Chain A
Amino acid sequence: MSTPVTTAPRSRNAGYARLRTPRRPSTVTRPRRSVLLTVLTGLILVYSLLPLGWLLINATKTPGGLFDSFGLWFAEDFALWDNIVATFTYDGGVFARWLGNTLLYVVVGAGGATFLAVLGGYALAVFDFPGKRAVFAVVIGAVAVPGTALAVPTFLMFSRMGLTNTPWAVIIPSLITPFGLYLMWVFAAQAVPRELLESARIDGAGEIRSFFRISLPLLVPGTVTVLLFSMVATWNNYFLPLIMIRDPDWFPLTLGLNAWNAQAATAGGEVVFHLVITGSLITILPLIAAFLLLQRYWQSGLAAGSVKE
């Protein structure tokens, strides 16, 4: 990987010489593309994408084809559309209901979490108030508290309040993202220059007005980042709904898919592996699409968030 820096004088037609004998070492500031490195990293790429390819291929198979065809190639009959229809119509269309529930949890839960994190992070970055350090320490400490240490007591509390088995039991705990708050805090500290706020104040803008008119537009990349990451957390949440929700009508997709899978193990349960596979594919597509479409924003938001430790 590392070639010693040669001190040989450069000939005038260095460009030509390089074509024949690529001796110019690849340096940090002027890297040369490397096929070997690309291939090696490509191994990790294959590892990352192979299971997704497997999912895509097997979503096109009939239940019979699943069993008697090779896992990484298509079976003779192409049943993707049939499978999608079957997924949405099985058991009275319960999958659509789960999809709707997941959307509800994501919009209210992740949306609310982002809103709270932006407000909180902005406040921490811009205003000085007594006890600010303590607040920060407690919130960051909360990142380290294991989810299950909270889950059991939260369940008991919520069940006393009569909230279990309702969407609120999933939404309320999703509203807090300590990591999102931290990211927003770091981001806002950099993205919003204090001088700008000072001059807005001198021009007679109130705090609320300057937040919406000046700061919010500057906070967009950070906000998108927090929104995407809390969306993933809510969309993919399994543990919390598992504890809180008993009624299949309020299941999110993750619980529903697992229930379909477990069906095969229960006596008398119908084996619906093809629906589990197709349903899984439908479950991951929206998030992958969101990440691909919003790439530019969340990556810059994340990069800015990592400047200060």
Chain B
Amino acid sequence: MGPFMVVFALVFLAPIAYSIYLSFFRDKLVGGNSFVGLENYQRAMADPQFWQALGRVGLFLVVQVPIMLGIALLVALAIDSGRLYGRSFFRISIFLPYAVPAVVATLMWGFMYGTRFGLVGNINDAFGITLPNPLSPELVLASIGNIVTWEFIGYNMLIFYSALRVIPHSLYEAAEIDGAGQLRVITSVKLPAIRGAMVIATIFSIIGSFQLFNEPSILQSLAPNAITTYFTPNLYTFSLSFAAQQHNYAATVAILMGLVTMVIAYAVQLRGMRKDV
């Protein structure tokens, strides 16, 4: 335990403390760092770019997470039902995208979205039509949603599936004697039994949505007009600190996002667990 805590303190606790410290200061051109109290926070509250970024990941969260978790749950139930041909092949193949780095996944999908040698271009040529461009400003968020869904269906499916595997078999036998059909078993036995896993998967997905960075940042080179420097809060923090050198304000935005994430994750956990009783 000791070694873990030492490194943990160095890479988790110290940066958090430092970040809070930074958020109360401001770099002045003349006179260096000066204490400004909550000024950075007030600035964030009135910052339209921050709110736009937050709204965008909020929308992403509300649309993408249910789709991804829903598909993952259906696949997990299908594999667990024992009614598929070749089920271990399904399990491992659907999981594989998780092993693909976000960089590679984004480049791959980015090329496929492209009209030059991508599938969209191919389809346009083959049928003489013009599909909507997935990399246009209107569609790019949905296109990112597709990439993230592709990456994480398998991972979530596996979380659900492993939880389903450990349900005692006797419960199924009992349900069958009571005359329960498969659908009834799913709603009355399986889903309640994996509630914990569903809560955990939801929380991880929420955290993931708020942290959205890799996919939009990499797509930027393929769709420079569609993705702004403040497309997501993380992208905003990144550009603030490394392009604009506003470390203090960047730390403030990062802390606010951390707070928002924790509050929502905690609320989901409370809600998810309350139904248990």
Interfacial residues, chain A to chain B (CB-CB below 8 A) = 1-5, 25-29, 31-35, 37-38, 40-41, 44-45, 47-49, 51-52, 54-55, 58, 66-67, 70-72, 116-117, 119-120, 123-124, 127, 129, 135, 139, 141-157, 172-173, 175-176, 181, 232, 235-236, 238-239, 242-243, 253-255, 257-258, 261-262, 264-265, 273, 276-277, 280, 283-284, 287-288, 290-292, 295, 299, 302-307, 309
Interfacial residues, chain B to chain A (CB-CB below 8 A) = 1, 3-5, 7-8, 10-12, 14-16, 18-19, 22, 71, 75, 78-79, 81-86, 90, 92-105, 107-109, 111-112, 116-119, 121-122, 126, 150, 153-154, 158-159, 162-163, 165-166, 169, 172-173, 175-176, 179-185, 196-197, 199-200, 203, 207, 210-211, 213-214, 217-218, 221-222, 224, 233-234, 237-238, 241-242, 247, 250-251, 254-255, 257-258, 261-262, 265-266
Q: Which residue of B lies closest to A25 (CB)?
A: B181
* Contacts A44-B94, A175-B7; A149 near B107 (Cβ below 8 A): no
Contacts of B111 in A (CB 8 A): 58, 273, 277
Contacts of B100 in A (CB 8 A): 52, 236, 284, 287
Binding site secondary structure of chain A: helix
Contact between chains at B83 and A33 (CB < 8 Å): yes
Alpha-carbon distance between A5 and B200 when the two chains are bound, in angstroms: 35
* Contacts A146-B234, A146-B261; A28 near B185 (Cβ below 8 A): yes
Alpha-carbon distance between A58 and B104 when the two chains are bound, in angstroms: 14
Contact between chains at A5 and B150 (CB < 8 Å): no
A-B contacts, 23 of them at CB < 8 A, read A31-B81, A38-B83, A41-B78, A51-B108, A52-B97, A67-B117, A116-B4, A129-B1, A135-B5, A151-B238, A152-B250, A154-B11, A154-B15, A157-B15, A238-B103, A239-B214, A243-B238, A258-B107, A276-B107, A290-B99, A299-B158, A306-B162, A309-B199
Q: Max chain A CB contacts within 10 Å: which of B15, B210, B224, B257?
A: B15
Contacts of A26 in B (CB 8 A): 83, 182
Contacts of A236 in B (CB 8 A): 100-103
Contacts of B169 in A (CB 8 A): 29
**A217 CB to closest chain B CB, in angstroms?**
21
Contacts of B175 in A (CB 8 A): 28
